[in-house]
Amino acid sequence: MRKIVFYSFLLLLVLLVAGCGQSSSGGGGGETVTVTGQLSTGTISTSIASVRAQAVASNYVVVAQDVSSKKLYSVVTDGSGNFQISGVPKDASLVLSLVDNTTGKYVGPVVFNNDYTGLTCTGTTSLGVIVFDSSKGMATPSTSLEAGKLNSSYKPRLSSGVPVGARKHGKGPGTTTGTPTGPSLDADLDGIPNLFDADNNGNGVLDEFDSGSNLEKEGLGSSSKATSVIVFPNLKIDLQDTESFISQTYKLFLAFEIDFANPDNVSSIVLTTIPTYAANCVFDQSTAYDFEASWPGEGATWLQSGQYHIYKAYQKGTTNTVKWASFIRVQNATDINAGDCFRFLITYTDSSTEEIYAYVNYVWRGIPKLTCYQFSGGTAVNITPGTYGSVAGGSSGNPYTITTGTTEATYTFTKPSDEAGSYIDANNYNWSCFYYSSATFAPGSLINNNVDEHLTTVTDIGGNQLQTTVALPITYSSTTVHGYRLEVEANSLTGDNSSFTIYLGR
């Protein structure tokens, strides 16, 4: 009897010890392994034997993602370029990406043996010297891995030995046709994992405008607490500034929104990787949310006591937490670019932490340009480039005067363009219409407060031109309308919007 008790005690002890081993592995049970390497800048050629390291690459984030669990591991290379990824479940496969932690820019994938982006961790793995070649937008270990460590599903399409999505944020060329058949983290097999791929299914439509892209989930890793993370740019310009806004400051607005299963379980969110221009950014207010008391206020610098924060956001006029967010204004619209990367460290109220990412897939460089307008069947008026500064209706101080007989306006305009000068084919343009009881457009005279009246959708008339007819109601909600603020916008899944604003007074 005593022996049975003793053996039972021994068994319990063994189980307890095994349990401790599991919890320290971080992998939810089972054996874990470590991946190490040393990052260097240099040159890559088609032969691995000719890969040349030049200088140690310190302060890069090696972002490893488990292709099965989606778990993200982020480690920063030290002063000698060394990094160590610990706690990887044995036999898990990882895809490795590099982010320059100084500039906050994604720089490319790690490609193994000239061919594969998937690393299978059959045991503790030393990758040796990994050379990053900025001219190719990829990195590669200078020694070959054994075949058993390559995940054959992650064999991207290459062009001259480089993944077709490299240095293009995963955008074309290299467009796939039909339903992409690649693996979960790189369905279009352009070599760029979804998190850093602006067009994750390779169909030529940006994730923001492609329903089902799930881009709001891509930066979450395996988080069970955060449910969505997005960053999106807004560029709303008065018509008169159509051609001059690019040289003006604080015109571009950037929104960060992070949703949680329970946002009150979050104690703080701080940025751990951020582009350098963030130092010149300032906070903007929100028309939808109030922020927690520690929010520095509109116009304050985003950088506070050496840190950048995302703040708890309440439903307007309440203390009901709805999400975590920050809305900022960027000093120069040209500062921000596709490839900008934001890493957030979330600390929960139970002291646990996790890191998630948001990625800038594209930026607005051009707003839609009005080319023609026409009121209630009157004469169509073409707008000559170079005259936007003097067009009536271009600003709140210079509204276009309409009479009681004018009940609609037809506008023709170009699509907005991205950082490469390409027109954004959003397929979903809309007007936001704001009505005022006074043509002075004083904020207090806004009748449809916090409501965007999406009155009509926009028709693509070819040649990158769009056209729509907007109703101009005499009254709204029983109040006579004297001022109309009209904004055309490209409605993405996340709320991105580039528009010109027209003011009308009656």
Partners of 413 in the β-ladder: 370, 466
Minimum distance of Ca ion from residue 359's CB (angstroms): 7
One-letter amino acid at 374 equals Q
Note whether 200 binds Ca ion by CB under 5 A.
yes
Pick 201 or 240: Cβ nearer Ca ion: 201
**What distance in Å separates the CA atoms of residue 268 and residue 296, rounded to the nearest whole number?**
15
Pick 165 or 416: Cβ nearer Ca ion: 165
Note whether 428 binds Ca ion by CB under 5 A.
no
424 close to 491: Cβ distance less than 8 angstroms: no
Per-residue string for binding with Ca ion, 111-150, x by CB under 5 A? ----------------------------------------
Residue 14, φ and ψ in degrees, nearest 5: -60, -45
Pick 119 or 447: Cβ nearer Ca ion: 119
Which position among 56, 205, 282, 345 is part of the footprint of Ca ion (CB under 5 A)? 205
Residues of this chain, 292-311, that bind Ca ion according to CB under 5 A:
none
Note whether 202 binds Ca ion by CB under 5 A.
yes
Note whether 186 binds Ca ion by CB under 5 A.
yes
Residue 208, φ and ψ in degrees, nearest 5: -60, -25
Minimum distance of Ca ion from residue 358's CB (angstroms): 10
300 close to 313: Cβ distance less than 8 angstroms: no
**What distance in Å separates the CA atoms of residue 50 and residue 47, rounded to the nearest whole number?**
5
Which position among 66, 100, 133, 199 is part of the footprint of Ca ion (CB under 5 A)? 199
Minimum distance of Ca ion from residue 180's CB (angstroms): 8
Instruction: Choose among 141, 37, 145: nearest CA to 84.
Output: 37
3-state SS class at 195: helix
Minimum distance of Ca ion from residue 153's CB (angstroms): 13
Note whether 201 binds Ca ion by CB under 5 A.
yes
Minimum distance of Ca ion from residue 491's CB (angstroms): 16
Using CB under 5 A, count the residues that bind Ca ion.
Answer: 18
> Backbone dihedral region of 344: left (phi > 0), alpha (psi from -120 to 50 degrees) or beta?
beta
Which position among 207, 354, 355, 418 is part of the footprint of Ca ion (CB under 5 A)? 207
Instruction: Name the DSSP class of 20.
Output: H
Note whether 192 binds Ca ion by CB under 5 A.
yes
Which position among 66, 133, 190, 290 is part of the footprint of Ca ion (CB under 5 A)? 190
Note whether 257 binds Ca ion by CB under 5 A.
no
Per-residue string for binding with Ca ion, 152-171, x by CB under 5 A? -------------x----x-
**What distance in Å separates the CA atoms of residue 133 and residue 145, rounded to the nearest whole number?**
19
217 close to 356: Cβ distance less than 8 angstroms: no
- Read off the tokens for 220: 């979450």
Note whether 197 binds Ca ion by CB under 5 A.
yes
Q: Spell out the alpha helix ranges (H) of 219-336.
A: none
Note whether 340 binds Ca ion by CB under 5 A.
no
- Read off the tokens for 177: 């046709």
Note whether 290 binds Ca ion by CB under 5 A.
no
Residue 499, φ and ψ in degrees, nearest 5: -150, 160
Peptide bond before 173: cis, by omega within 30 degrees of 0?
yes
Q: Can you give the binding site for Ca ion, defined by CB under 5 A?
A: 165, 170, 186, 188, 190, 192, 194, 197, 199-203, 205, 207, 210, 215, 218
